[in-house]
Amino acid sequence: MNSSTGQDSSPVIRVVERLLPPHYAPQNQIIGALRDLWATRHFNIERLEELHRSVQVDGRFLALPIEQYPSLVTFQQRNDAWIQVATDLGEQVVRKALERTGLTPRDVDHVFFVTVTGIATPSIDTRLMNRLGMRLDMKRTPIFGLGCVAGAAGTARASDYLRAWKGQTALILAVELCSLTLQREDLSIPNIIASGLFGDGAACVVLQGAERGGAGPRIVATRSVLYPDTERVMGWDVVDSGFKVVLSAKVPQIVREFIRRDVDGFLAEHGLTRKDVKHWVAHTGGPKVLQAFEEALELAPDMLARSWASLREVGNLSSASVLFVLGDMLESGKAEPGDWGVMMAMGPGFCAELVLLRW
């Protein structure tokens, strides 16, 4: 459904703060850590390493030091580590985002928390209310299960809220610790690719309603699209040991088949075409997904340069990925008043989320 009102009611993105865990491992080190385990279970180690390298990731930041992962055997151990690290990273990235906008935790009216890599009740946003000293009447919307699309979807849902509450401030907090979901015993191709592609990180977006004003791009409209009968394209199977990845090779095919239709239709409702869009912010779904975006939308090679760079440097951070790219774009200073931009991400459902931006 399209959710758009006039430009005068469009919420503004004030800042996007990003944070990576302190533990970094080059891809070769990660492959080395997995090689001995693979050797006891698979006859073609070279093929597994080839799949690992094909995702074009140089290295990733990890929730824990790499030597601690073998001790995480059960789902409870992994999830307990997720709760601790997610709360710590969440606190740090929210504090940094608010400092950059000159706001305090008590200025926040609503937090939208998105993740797909761990579960907690009370949710992480509740724990942060206590740590940060937020108002007790602050609204919370924890969203689980949207995966890679959740950074864009969270932005869209927060903007929906701020169209009604034009004088308020909302945060989108995305924390993904993909390394803590790894199923080391699963030597399926989807899991091997995932173990080479996904990294850890957190992002926080500060959004304010139109009555608050402030510099930054405005969210003019949003569009959600579900592709029917695609539940097994991407997601989790919840098994005894935790989250087992579902990742179909059909993802790039779906991008090529549908994204141009959906983007063109979305833009046409606002009197725009792809030629009017100067800034494209795409989630780092992997090399084949980014290539599919470029081909389907007929984008010049440099249009998704920030997405390619983010993929290479930190991997796919699930819901935080598209927010990392958005943050890089905002800090580049390349956007000028009047420029149009499109933020887009795809994820479990299988689905897409589109956000129309205006500087």
What torsion do the CA atoms of 62, 290, 330, 133 make, to the nearest 10 degrees? Answer: -40
Q: Distance of CA 147 to CAs 57, 283, 334, 353, Å?
A: 19, 11, 29, 12
Contact 162, 208 (CB under 8 A): yes
Active site residue 204: no
> Which residue carries 């000028």 as its tokens?
336
User: How many CB atoms lie under 10 A from the CB of residue 3?
Assistant: 14
Query: Given 148, 178, 204, 351, which residue is catalytic?
Result: 148
Contact 245, 191 (CB under 8 A): yes
Contact 345, 282 (CB under 8 A): yes
CA separation for the pair 216, 303 (Å, rounded): 20
What the block records as the tokens of 334 is: 């390349």
CA separation for the pair 18, 40 (Å, rounded): 38
Catalytic residues: 148
